[in-house]
Amino acid sequence: MKLISILALLLSLAGCSSMLFYPEPGLPFTPDKARLEYRDVNLTAADGTRLHGWWLPAKTGVPVKGTVLHLHGNGGNMSWHLGGSWWLPEQGYQVLMLDYRGYGQSQGEPSLPAIYQDIQAAFDWLKAAPEVQGKPLVVLGQSIGGSLAVHYLSQHPQEKARIKALILDGTPAS
């Protein structure tokens, strides 16, 4: 009975994906338009899906206070959500912004539960990045990105233990 319930939940989540995600391919602008330093980051999810992100280093000369993983909302792509993080590098925070599968320049189609592999790929990248080591890690979830973060972290205690704070911006309660 338990297996049937889990299967029904997964099928219902997969069926709802088209109503949850509104990806926009391409990138209409990059952080340099906001006069931010950045570099493109390429990640690979466990299923082989290639993902694209941006690394925004802390402003030159500003001591690094920590790292923020920015999980954006359900519409557009990370270009449209740069407003949630553009100010952080000046305050000493380095930021990893990730476009989920099907968003921006990331391959694939967004769906549940596959999108959780994208979040794991971001955590794996952060775990390996030398500039992140020894710095506090914060997750910033905007809109559905907050919901994804809460659910993901509840299922991955090893990643939950790594973060110092979870910030939810406009996240739906259900």
pLDDT in tens, 57-83: 999 999 999 999 999 999 999 999 999
Nearest-angstrom CA–CA distance, 124 and 102: 20
The pLDDT score that the predictor gives to residue 4 is: 52
pTM for the whole thing? Answer: 0.89
- pLDDT bin (cut points 50, 70, 90) of residue 17 is low
Nearest-angstrom CA–CA distance, 89 and 74: 24
- Residues composing the chain: 174
Mean pLDDT score of the chain = 91
For the segment 40-51, the average pLDDT, to the nearest whole number, is: 98
Backbone angles phi, psi at 100, to 5 degrees: -65, 165
